[in-house]
Amino acid sequence: MRREALGAAMFAALSIGAACRAKNASTDQPVKRYTVRAEVVSLPTEPGGGLTLRHESVPDFTDVTGAVVGMDSMVMPFPVARGVSLENLSPGAKVEVVFSVDWAQGLYQIERLRTLPSETTLRLGNAHEMGPAMKHEEAK
CATH code 3.40.50.1170 for 2-138: no
The mean per-residue pLDDT over the stretch 111-128 comes to 89
Closest-CA residue to 122 (of 36, 53, 56, 40): 56
Given a cut of 70, whether residue 49 has pLDDT beyond it is yes
What is the reported pLDDT for 109? 95
In 10 A of CB 42, how many CB atoms?
15
DSSP structural state of residue 37: E
Given a cut of 90, whether residue 80 has pLDDT beyond it is yes
Q: What's the rounded Cα separation, in Å, for the pair 52 and 97? A: 12
What is the reported pLDDT for 129? 66
Q: How many Å separate Cα 65 from the centre of its chain?
A: 18
The mean per-residue pLDDT over the stretch 49-62 comes to 93
Q: What's the rounded Cα separation, in Å, for the pair 47 and 4? A: 17
Coil, helix or strand at residue 73: coil
93-105 pLDDT tens trace: 999 999 999 999 9
Q: How do the domains of the chain map onto residue ranges? A: 2-138
| Phi, psi torsion values for 138, nearest 5 degrees | -90, 145
What is the reported pLDDT for 14? 52
